[in-house]
Amino acid sequence: MDRHSPETRIISAEKMAELIQDLAERIVRENPDLTDVILVGIRSRGAHLAGRIAGKVREMTKVLLPVGILDISLYRDDLRSRIDQPELIRTEIPGPVEDRNIILVDDVLFTGRTIRAALDGIMDLGRARKIQLAVLVDRGHRELPIRANYTGQYVPTSLEQTIRVRFSEDGEEDGVILRELAR
């Protein structure tokens, strides 16, 4: 990808905050008993989003949802085709997943392959009662039959475009960027 390809901010920091608030509200509405819920963010931007959602849930309900971080490096189906080896970073899940309601959290849903890898990772940790998916942006182009339970915003894209969610936790201004891939 050409680092100089044009970028467009398609979701402002303010709109992103509204979308995160909406995700949290819908999660609370659909999960009236939060005692068995664990938010599991897919490293790294999914983990940032999971932390933000947990903060909003706490503001609304006074319930502090446990937040875990899932590293899917070893579960990716493109591992054999990659020249570089993945950097392994520890998965950190607060407590057992057995009989718990796991809400996987990621920043962007695209082909569904990242989520498939995350499902494999969670299932290797135990048998959750239920697994749901929350994403900030769904850009379409599924290659696998995966659908989010909670979506902040659907952003139709072409395959010549990419979406990048930026978080202040990474030293960037919050927002969502659309970039044209170089041809």
In this predicted model, which residue has the larger pLDDT, 64 or 88? Answer: 64
Q: Is the pLDDT of residue 86 over 80?
A: no
For the stretch 122-155, what's the b/e string if a residue is b when 16 or more beta carbons lie within 10 angstroms of its beta carbon?
beebeebeebbbbbbbbbeeeeeebebebbbbeb
| Class of the CATH-defined domain 16-76+88-159 | alpha beta
Tens of pLDDT along 14-30? Answer: 999 999 999 999 999 99
Nearest 5°: phi and psi at 50?
-60, -40
Tens of pLDDT along 54-73? Answer: 999 999 999 999 999 999 98
Torsion of CA 145, 44, 14, 175, to 10 degrees: -80
What pLDDT score does 2 carry?
47
Contact 86, 76 (CB under 8 A): yes
* Tokens read off for 128: 């959750």
What single letter denotes the amino acid at residue 96? Answer: P
* Tokens read off for 126: 């135990």
Rounded-to-integer distance, Cα 82 and Cα 16, Å: 33
Contact 50, 39 (CB under 8 A): yes
Torsion of CA 152, 158, 159, 160, to 10 degrees: -120
Write down the pTM of the prediction.
Answer: 0.91
What are the boundaries of each domain within the chain?
16-76+88-159
